Amino acid sequence: MLASGKVGYVFQGKNFSNSGDFSLERKDFGTAYPHKVKFHIFDNSPATKKQLDLLKDGLYVAIVENNYRGTGGNAAFELYGIEVGLNLNVHTRDTADDAKDAAHVLELGSGKYKEPHAVATLYSTSYAVTKAIVDGLIV
């Protein structure tokens, strides 16, 4: 369950339009992991634009469902930004971009402070149980 006053969003991709990535970043006295989640929103309604405008000031954790689910679903869901959080770093839209159907392109990513670990895995006892947990987070 999400904390009181918090909201969960679902962004359903098309043809691999959503993706997540992380990388190891070496520092002078340690390591860090910038996390990124890129996704596209194909709706351009006034309600969608209003919601997208609200995203710019938040701090987020993203749950990404992978196409490869692993054994019994143990690799299906990953958590990005779980310790430090993600900011909306990119929001663009090119109305003439036919290849992307003029979608809003968004990228949540680590800001000044990076994550101390690679992405985490969200898994309970099976894919079905884990999917129910994820679905239960959405209002």
Region 67-94 average pLDDT: 93
Q: What is the pLDDT of residues 2-38, one digit of tens each?
A: 666 677 777 777 777 788 999 999 999 999 999 999 9
For residue 1, pLDDT beyond 60? no
Q: Of 11, 15, 19, whose CA–CA distance to 99 is shortest?
A: 15
Q: What is the pLDDT of residues 82-97, one digit of tens each?
A: 999 999 999 999 888 8
pLDDT of residue 98: 80
In contact, 138 and 8? CB cutoff 8 Å: yes
Phi then psi for residue 138, to 5 deg, are -90, 130
The pLDDT confidence band at residue 120, using thresholds 50, 70 and 90, is very high
- 70's CB contacts (< 8 A; 6+ apart) are 76
- 128's CB contacts (< 8 A; 6+ apart) are 73
For residue 81, pLDDT beyond 80? yes
Q: Could you tell me the pTM of the whole model?
A: 0.86
- 135's CB contacts (< 8 A; 6+ apart) are none
At which residue do the structure tokens 């979608």 appear? 103
On average, the pLDDT of the chain sits at: 89
